[in-house]
């Protein structure tokens, strides 16, 4: 019997694919890249067409030995790495190591890990795409040239341990430029004026917003810029009656959003869940590679997660339409499937991110998914299904009201058909629109009146003015970037690609070029200093247009329209000259330590200052190395240690989390630390432990500090029980390794025995397994 070896990147993906193939197949994992440029040298011969020197990566010898042994026993070897540049490059390196001909039909690729997709790929093997490989090589060598020549310069001119990169340096500059805008912003005064009107004394008033003037049918917008202008306006308005001038009824349709791309998934997870891009991608990667679903085996729940396309296959659209009609009914199914247009810069190599199996809604698989996985899967599921539903429909009414020539406006709106919002949620949509439409100038936000409940109005109605309410306001600077808005800006400017957003942002934090304040990102002094040096000596490296052009050039290599060596040659010559010039002309920058007006408690002579070390900011004596005193940066709190009564302090640790700890005033050996702030004098009524303030998604609430307390267990067991209840609707039937799980008939209702087993399993769950 012939044997086929299939090689993928990850063990999880290997396990998922194996269940769809018969006995004649063996699936193994390379566990990511197997060859790369050397870590200790440049590894690129710039004099010989940028010839790269690839070496087996450290720690990969055992894996390669196993792959070689398996390939020697196989009659056929298929490389099933991810369907993108990186995946194609891994396949190319594996072909070299296993002595496979890249031009032979040794490569397979699929956008989703389902039985049909895997079998179709196996039956349609093709040669390795050398254009994709060359695009990846060009990208890798570009990054190596920039990093290897710029980083030592930064070490020499600023301090050791710094780095620069083709994408990271531009992203840092975006954050620095925004901070400059904020610092240079001069607020301007303006006033918002509302009139609360009603038809009769017994009626409730409704809010209207001053807009400007209306003379001879012509409307002119008027801004109230000072208290003097406001007083004059109020005096004039009070002399007039309020009369309805125009009433415009109508309808409005709210259309669903397109399915997720990598960028929009990261943005929505940041906005709705507070997830970092890295956290989102970690969860999405696991959902793509496969999750163990009990007796069903390991199943991939979503399609490939690195994409900039909103395109969806016809088969997936038809499945979604059938699901919508069954679940919600015909009124929620549009006559034709909605069409979503890709952005101009989209490569459209893959489908949008969507569920792989529409017979597995979130409630069905919730029992098997951890918190992050379930949240991300629910986001993807709701977004995709909603994208194929009918628009929501609103009755709307706008009303112009005149007080003499002064125009006030009011508007009302009422949903008459929920459409896609039946699944997605009107509040979720409102928050998303509000987040997407944030503007730098708050006066713009006040141009539209609030949506209120309006009485029946007609032209000529005279209204009573209950009160005029002025509000002084000031224009606001543009907001700092959040991870969501930074990713959106990078995508719009063409900086990086879907696979690079998360690692780029992580690098900025790792290098301490930026720091987080709540959800906002601000540059550190180090980030500003590095950016200023790069702006002065390497304008192209931090220029958004230049970086976007390089990305487009890499796309041209990928589609075969540009030679990758020529691309590298056109970049490296001018860049290398700039490096040589900067080494001679750039001045050494000294980042001054920040004093904190405290004497060193150890040597009694030095002053304490704030420095940046390998793990972030810390306090140290300025007499180092004569004095080696250090302490963590922390702030006082109003709480006291529940163990010894000493004051509790708080400091930020990695990833922006807060750590509360005892300052040991009363007991130098006290070891109290907590991620939650203890509440003075409050004990748990159930177990007697001290209580804490916990935070979750911006909400603060009181809880017992004891994880084993029944008050904590009840919350966790009820959630685990809810998962078990959703799971217990079905009895899992062991799937054949050669067939896909595609119909509801494969899962029957469970017997009371299996249901009891599921509930027992959930009751034994540790409180820490489910987040509160």
The DSSP result for 152-180, as a single string, is HHHHHHT-TT----TTHHHHHHHHHHHHH
pLDDT value of residue 510: 87
130-161: string of b/e by CB count within 10 Å (b at 16+)?
A: ebbbbbbbbbbbbbbbbbebbbebbeebbbee
Scanning the structure block, which residue is given the tokens 């993928």? 8
Q: What is the 3-state secondary structure (H, E, C) of 654-672?
A: HHHCEEEEECCCCCCCCCC
DSSP bridge partners of 636: 649
348-381: string of b/e by CB count within 10 Å (b at 16+)?
A: ebbbbbbbbbbebbbbbbbbbbeebbbbbbbbbb
Q: Which of 249, 172, 181 is nearest to 528 (CA)?
A: 172
Scanning the structure block, which residue is given the tokens 């209950």? 466
Alpha-carbon dihedral of residues 218, 219, 225, 226, nearest 10 degrees?
Answer: 80
Question: Residue 595 to residues 376, 583, 622, 753: CA-CA distances in angstroms?
Answer: 44, 31, 9, 68
Q: What is 139-185+480-585's CATH superfamily?
A: Topoisomerase I, domain 2 (1.10.460.10)
For domain 4-128, is the CATH number 3.40.50.140? yes
Query: Contact at 8 Å (CB) between 86 and 140?
Result: no
Q: Which residues contact 311 (CB under 8 A, 6 or more apart)?
A: 340, 342, 348, 351, 352
Q: Which two tokens stand for residue 270?
A: 């940041």
Q: How many CB atoms lie within 10 A of CB 771?
A: 14
For domain 189-255+393-474, is the CATH number 3.20.20.190? no
Q: Which two tokens stand for residue 351?
A: 């489908």
Rounded CA-CA distance 133/125 in Å is: 17
Q: Which of 617, 703, 18 is nearest to 298 (CA)?
A: 18
Rounded CA-CA distance 60/31 in Å is: 9
Query: Contact at 8 Å (CB) between 356 and 302?
Result: yes
CA 101 to the chain's CA centroid: 39
Rounded CA-CA distance 267/6 in Å is: 35
Angle between helices 371-387 and 314-328 (to 10 degrees): 90
Q: Which two tokens stand for residue 754?
A: 């299996």
Q: Which of 705, 704, 624 is nearest to 672 (CA)?
A: 705
Scanning the structure block, which residue is given the tokens 């970092």? 276
User: Would you kindly state where each structural domain of the chain is located, as residue ranges?
Assistant: 4-128, 139-185+480-585, 189-255+393-474, 262-386, 594-704, 712-769
Q: Which of 2, 76, 62 is nearest to 29 (CA)?
A: 62
Query: Contact at 8 Å (CB) between 200 and 463?
Result: no
Q: Which two tokens stand for residue 328?
A: 């919600």
Rounded CA-CA distance 654/508 in Å is: 13
Question: Residue 477 to residues 108, 515, 522: CA-CA distances in angstroms?
Answer: 51, 19, 14
Kind of pairing between the strands at 4-8 and 76-79? parallel
Element housing 141 (H / E): helix 130-157
Query: Contact at 8 Å (CB) between 459 and 246?
Result: yes
The DSSP result for 619-651, as a single string, is EEETTTTT---EE---EEEEEE-TTT-PEEEEE
Could you state, in chain order, the average pLDDT of each consecutive group of 10 residues for the chain (772 residues)? 90 92 92 93 95 95 96 95 94 96 96 93 96 96 94 90 91 97 95 96 95 93 95 95 96 95 94 91 95 92 94 94 96 94 68 94 93 95 97 96 96 95 79 57 67 94 96 94 94 90 92 88 93 95 94 94 96 95 91 85 90 77 90 87 92 74 88 92 91 77 88 54 43 36 32 33 30 28
pLDDT value of residue 445: 60
pLDDT value of residue 674: 92
Q: Which residues contact 721 (CB under 8 A, 6 or more apart)?
A: 759, 762, 763
Q: Which of 345, 288, 702, 309 is nearest to 494 (CA)?
A: 345
Q: Which CATH class is domain 262-386?
A: mainly alpha
The residues annotated with a catalytic role in the active site are 304
Rounded CA-CA distance 494/483 in Å is: 16
Q: What is the 3-state secondary structure (H, E, C) of 497-551?
A: CCCCHHHHHHHHHHCCCEEEECCEEEECHHHHHHHHHHHHHCCCCCCHHHHHHHH
pLDDT value of residue 444: 55
Please write down the long-range contacts of 183-187, taking CB distance under 8 Å and 24 or more positions apart: 185/476, 185/477, 185/478, 187/474, 187/475, 187/476, 187/477
Question: Residue 185 to residues 476, 525, 629, 714: CA-CA distances in angstroms?
Answer: 8, 19, 40, 51
Query: Contact at 8 Å (CB) between 388 and 320?
Result: yes
pLDDT value of residue 769: 30
| Cα-trace Rg, the chain | 31
**What is the three-class DSSP state of 698?**
coil
Question: Residue 127 to residues 26, 91, 104, 105, 348: CA-CA distances in angstroms?
Answer: 20, 10, 5, 5, 21
Rounded CA-CA distance 277/486 in Å is: 11
Q: Which residues contact 679 (CB under 8 A, 6 or more apart)?
A: 639, 690, 691, 692, 693, 702
């Amino acid at each position: 019997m012939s044997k086929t070896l299939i090689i993928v990147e990850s063990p999880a993906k290997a396990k998922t694919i194996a269940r769809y193939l018969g006995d004649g197949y063996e699936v193994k994992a390379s566990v990511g890249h197997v060859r790369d440029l050397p870590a200790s040298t440049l590894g690129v011969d710039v004099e010989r067409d940028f010839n790269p020197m690839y070496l087996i990566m450290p720690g990969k010898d055992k894996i390669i030995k196993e792959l070689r042994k398996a390939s020697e026993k196989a009659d056929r070897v298929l490389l099933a790495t991810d369907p993108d540049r990186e995946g194609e490059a891994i396949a190319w390196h594996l072909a070299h190591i296993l002595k496979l001909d890249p031009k032979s039909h040794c490569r397979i690729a699929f956008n989703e890990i389902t039985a049909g997709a895997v079998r179709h790929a196996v039956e349609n093997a093709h040669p390795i795409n050398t254009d994709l490989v060359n695009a990846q090589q060009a990208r890798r060598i570009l990054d190596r040239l920039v990093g290897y020549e710029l980083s030592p310069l930064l070490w020499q001119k600023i301090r050791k341990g710094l780095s620069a990169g083709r994408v990271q340096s531009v992203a840092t500059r975006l954050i620095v430029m925004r901070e400059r805008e904020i610092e240079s912003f001069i607020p301007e005064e303006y006033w918002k004026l509302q009139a609360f009107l009603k038809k009769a004394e017994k009626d409730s008033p409704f809010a209207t917003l001053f807009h400007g003037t209306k003379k001879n049918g012509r409307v002119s917008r008027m801004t109230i810029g000072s208290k003097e202008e406001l007083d004059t306006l109020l005096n004039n308005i009070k002399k007039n009656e309020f009369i309805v001038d125009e009433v415009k009824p109508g309808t409005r349709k709210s259309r669903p959003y397109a399915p997720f791309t990598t960028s929009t998934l990261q943005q929505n997870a940041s906005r709705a869940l507070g997830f970092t891009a890295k956290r989102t991608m970690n969860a999405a990667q696991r959902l793509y590679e496969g999750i163990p679903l009990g007796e069903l085996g390991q199943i991939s729940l979503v399609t490939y997660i690195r994409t900039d396309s909103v395109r969806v296959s016809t088969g997936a659209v038809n499945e979604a339409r059938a699901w919508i009609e069954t679940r919600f009914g015909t009124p929620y199914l549009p006559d034709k499937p909605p069409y979503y247009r890709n952005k101009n810069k989209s490569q459209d190599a893959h489908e949008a991110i969507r569920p792989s199996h529409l017979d597995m809604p979130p409630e069905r698989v919730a029992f098997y998914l951890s918190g992050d996985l379930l949240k991300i899967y629910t986001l993807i599921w709701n977004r995709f299904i909603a994208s194929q539903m009918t628009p929501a429909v609103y009755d709307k009414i706008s009303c112009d009201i005149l007080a003499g020539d002064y125009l006030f406006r009011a508007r009302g709106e009422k949903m008459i058909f929920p459409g896609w919002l039946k699944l997605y949620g009107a509040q979720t949509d409102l928050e998303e629109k509000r987040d997407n439409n944030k503007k730098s100038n708050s006066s713009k936000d006040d141009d539209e009146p609030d949506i209120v409940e309006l009485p029946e109005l007609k032209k000529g109605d005279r209204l009573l003015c209950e009160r005029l309410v002025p509000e002084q306001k000031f224009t606001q600077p543009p907001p700092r970037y959040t991870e969501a808005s930074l990713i959106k800006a990078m995508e719009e400017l063409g900086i990086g690609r879907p696979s690079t957003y998360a690692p780029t942002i992580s690098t900025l934090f790792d290098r301490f070029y930026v720091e987080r304040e709540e959800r906002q990102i601000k540059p550190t002094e180090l980030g500003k200093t590095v950016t200023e040096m790069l702006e002065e000596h390497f304008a192209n490296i931090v220029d958004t247009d230049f970086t976007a052009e390089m990305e487009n050039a890499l796309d041209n290599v990928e589609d075969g329209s540009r030679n990758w060596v020529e691309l590298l040659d056109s970049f490296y010559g001018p860049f290398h000259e700039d490096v040589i010039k900067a080494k001679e002309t750039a001045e050494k920058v000294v980042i001054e330590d920040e004093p904190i007006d405290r004497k060193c408690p150890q040597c009694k002579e030095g002053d304490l200052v704030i420095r940046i070390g390998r793990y972030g900011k810390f306090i140290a004596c300025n007499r180092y190395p004569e004095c080696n005193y250090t302490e963590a940066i922390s702030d006082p709190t109003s709480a006291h240690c529940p163990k010894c009564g000493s004051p509790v302090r708080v400091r930020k640790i990695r990833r922006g989390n807060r750590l509360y700890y005892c300052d040991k005033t009363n007991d130098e050996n006290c070891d109290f630390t907590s991620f939650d702030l203890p509440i003075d004098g409050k004990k748990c009524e159930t177990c007697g432990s001290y209580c804490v303030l916990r935070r979750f998604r911006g909400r603060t609430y009181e809880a017992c500090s004891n994880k084993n307390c029944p008050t904590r267990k009840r919350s966790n067991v009820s959630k685990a029980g809810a998962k078990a209840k959703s799971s217990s609707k079905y009895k899992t039937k062991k799937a054949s390794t050669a067939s896909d799980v595609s119909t509801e008939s494969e899962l029957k209702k469970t017997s009371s025995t299996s249901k009891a087993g599921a509930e027992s399993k959930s009751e034994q769950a540790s409180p820490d397994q489910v987040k509160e």
